[in-house]
Copies of this chain bind each other. A is one copy, B any other.
Amino acid sequence: MELRKKIRIGVIGGSSPDKESRQHAFRVGQMIAEKGAILVCGGLSGVMEAASRGAKEAGGFTIGILPGNSLDDANISIDIPVATGMGYSRNSLVAMNSDAIIAINGQYGTLSEIAYGCIYGKKVIGLGTWDIKGVIQVKSPEQAVDEALKDSFPLTS
């Protein structure tokens, strides 16, 4: 399938997650790749890094939307870093560029991305993260990816 037709799953979460969250992020990344979807994230460390690494180890494709000006800021598992130079305002773009979003752990940056996911009408799934009305809370990486892919439709042209 063409790259542009693939579903994009955003994975958002903190830059300093606990060990379990990191493992969840890695597994979520793996499964996104196994299912043939693209992983979108903020391109930096923590949950973003673990999920990107999981996706790459499973042969997937990753996009990292960075707060800074330099592509070099991206973690090494990002295929396509995108520099924005917008600082935290780029959180809006992470949500905008995802068909569905999985939030793992995370602090206020993650909360802003959950909010943007809801603003933009994207399905938002939570795994050990903020308990926000409208977010589908799940118990495992498998459930998270299943929920994210259910009813997600990529570009048709």
Residue pair B108, A119 in contact (C-beta under 8 Å) = yes
Q: Across the interface, which residues of B come within 8 angstroms of A96, CB to CB?
A: 69, 83-85
Residue pair B157, A76 in contact (C-beta under 8 Å) = yes
Residue pair B3, A79 in contact (C-beta under 8 Å) = yes
Residue pair A119, B115 in contact (C-beta under 8 Å) = no
Nearest-neighbor residue (CB-CB) of A56 within chain B:
B2
Residue pair B119, A80 in contact (C-beta under 8 Å) = no
Residue pair A78, B109 in contact (C-beta under 8 Å) = no
Nearest-neighbor residue (CB-CB) of A93 within chain B:
B84
For the complex, give the distance between the alpha carbons of A69 and B108 in Å. Answer: 17
For the complex, give the distance between the alpha carbons of A120 and B87 in Å. Answer: 11
Residue pair A89, B93 in contact (C-beta under 8 Å) = yes
> Taking A108-B119, A115-B108 as contacts, is the C-beta distance between A83 and B89 under 8 angstroms?
no
Nearest-neighbor residue (CB-CB) of A76 within chain B:
B157
Besides A69-B96, A84-B96, A111-B118, 6 other A-B contacts (C-beta < 8 A): A4-B79, A81-B155, A82-B97, A84-B84, A108-B115, A108-B118
